[in-house]
Amino acid sequence: MTAVRIRGLGKRFGPVTALNGARLTAQAGEVHGVLGENGAGKTTLLSILAGLLPADEGEILLRGEPVSIGSPREARALGVGMVHQHFALVPEFSVLENLMLGWPGPLLSLPREEVRGKALALEKETGLDVALDAPVKTLGVGERQRAEIVKVLLQEPAILILDEPTAVLSPQEVEGFLRLVRTLADQGTAVLMVAHKLDEVLAVADRVTVLRRGATVLEAPREEVDAASLAQAMVGAREAGSVVHLREAAALQEERPPAEGDPVAELRRVVVVDGRGVTRLRDVSLEVRPGEIVGVAGVEGNGQRQLARVLAGEMAPTNGTVRLPPEPAFIPQDRRAEGLVEDFDLTENLALRLHRWPRFRRGPFLDWRTLEARTREALATFSIRAEGPHTRADTLSGGNQQRVVLARELEGEPEFLVAESPTRGLDVAGESYVHQVLRDLRDRADGPAGIVLISTDLDEILALADRFFVMVRGRLVPIHPGPDLRERMGAGMLGVE
């Protein structure tokens, strides 16, 4: 029986197209792997199915019936349950209280014993082991996930969505988890599982759907695919623009001798443990020399954010040594939240970094005249389309906003720059502009700069970088240039040996 059929699904977030005619068909009783690069639209697709987001176009059929799913509540009534990537558990509550939340029944009683009984039976049946009376905030991530799964399974969903469920698990936990997924499918549930790691998907899935740039590019039974063909489908060469980049990259790689000179930035055996006790960076060592772009590719959540923050001088490592130039230039990933103050005008946004520089102040006062003149120059230099230095930043398009960030960070000819997904959400023109700026900075005649480019976009790394790394589970793994670089990097970031 066809449990779910999705056709022609489209979804836009402002200027960004997240889904563009995606389709997916899954049968009851099968494990269905949903694959794709970051930003391919997997999570968006499944969020729509779970009632978390409205679709712009397309249709969803459950058991042959067309449905519209307006909220998580409606999704649940239709038998769709989702285990979120970021768990939807109230940290202050016990596991049992979380399980009772939203349990159907009278409002003036608490189905404590009923739910406890059902949960224990379910735990026995599936082998999921969760301490029901422990507050969620005291649990480790693996246990939290099991609690989340128990919560969703108690609703007896016909369609179970797992959004990157293994990302937070240890290898031992993953094995048990995959067995559980198999068991659930054998009991007749349609399991839709998003995963990055191809080996896990290949181990458990009956069918796979691969998304790329919001569209479905491959639908096949497990027997017809292997790691190579899936990786090819996921990261395979795309549209003309990136092919050009690739060619450029290939040409440049041949021409450029390895960078020499003293490193401008240096990490030695850096370890970062976050507030929850999760190790984000493991023994990361890196030297960046003037005149090179170090490319770091990786699937989101493998420690790149922490790497960027340490390199930008924003975050002190838990362990290891860091040597950086004073105030490194930094292009943060989220320009609206971290890169700009949207309520400020462009001069003020430039002043964010420049306001302490002697050139732009007179004693305790800011030299607005000089700042404004500098902004005016920057508008011209970086071809920023804005009325003037007093235009508010929130009235600019994403591409122009990013040019403002570039203008600010490149002020003073920095010898070291950290760029974190600098072209996210930009159109092709904006993307190639940013790339050109980075290249020019590296090749600057009067003192080339060292650049670390961190991106989830493999093409971007290939087009720009001189040396290549992937981040996997907090480790920085070097990838040697040469034939099949793309395939080897793709495999590396997906955790395939």
Chain residues that interact with another protein, rule: CB under 8 A: 52, 71-73, 76, 84, 87-93, 97-98, 100-103, 105-111, 312, 314, 327, 330, 332, 336-344, 348-349, 351-353, 355-356, 361, 364-366, 368, 394, 405, 408
- Cβ(234)–Cβ(210) below 8 Å: yes
Instruction: Determine which helix (DSSP H) or strand (DSSP E) holds 203, and give its type and residue range.
Output: helix 198-204
What are 328's two structure tokens? 């490194």
User: Least distance in Å: CB of 370 to another protein?
Assistant: 13
The CB-of-315 to another protein minimum distance in angstroms stands at 11
- The span from the CA of 265 to the CA of 324, in Å, is 5
Minimum distance, C-beta of residue 226 to another protein, in the bound complex (Å):
36
Residue 247 or 356 with smaller CB distance to another protein = 356
Q: What counts of helices (H) and strands (E) characterise the chain?
A: 16, 21
Q: Which of 215, 237, 317 is nearest to 274 (CA)?
A: 317
123 vs 327, which CB is nearer to another protein?
327
Nearer Cβ to another protein (215/351): 351
Q: What angle do CA 331, 494, 17 make, to 5 degrees?
A: 55
> Minimum CB separation from another protein for residue 460, in Å?
21
Give the nearest distance from C-beta 53 to another protein in angstroms.
13
Please, what is the minimum distance in Å from the beta carbon of residue 224 to another protein?
A: 36
Q: Whole-number minimum distance, CB 327 to another protein, in Å? A: 6
How is residue 297 written in tokens?
A: 């590719």
Enter the DSSP assignment of 109: S
Nearer to another protein by C-beta: 90 or 428?
Answer: 90
CA distances from 448 to 16, 410, 464, 466 (A): 34, 12, 15, 14
> Are 441 and 417 in contact, with CB atoms under 8 Å apart?
yes
Nearest approach in angstroms of CB 293 to another protein is 22
Nearer to another protein, 405 or 464 (CB): 405
Rank residues 246 and 357 by Cβ distance to another protein and give the closer one. 357
Q: Please state, in angstroms and rounded to a whole number, the distance separating the CA atoms of residues 148 and 98.
A: 9
Query: ∠ CA 147-153-155 to the nearest 5 degrees?
Result: 120
Tokens of 134: 């422990």
Tell the smallest beta-carbon distance from residue 207 to another protein (Å). Answer: 27
In this complex, which beta carbon is closest to another protein, that of residue 36 or of residue 332? 332
Give the max Cα distance, the chain. 76
- Residue pair 226/202 in contact (Cβ under 8 Å)? The answer is yes
Q: Phi and psi for 270 in degrees, rounded to 5?
A: -85, 135
Tell me whether residue 259 or residue 418 sits nearer to another protein (CB atom): 418
CB within 8 Å of 82: residues ≥ 6 apart? 46, 47, 49, 50, 52, 72, 75, 152, 160, 161, 162, 163
| Complex with another protein: residue 43 or 216, whichever CB lies closer | 43
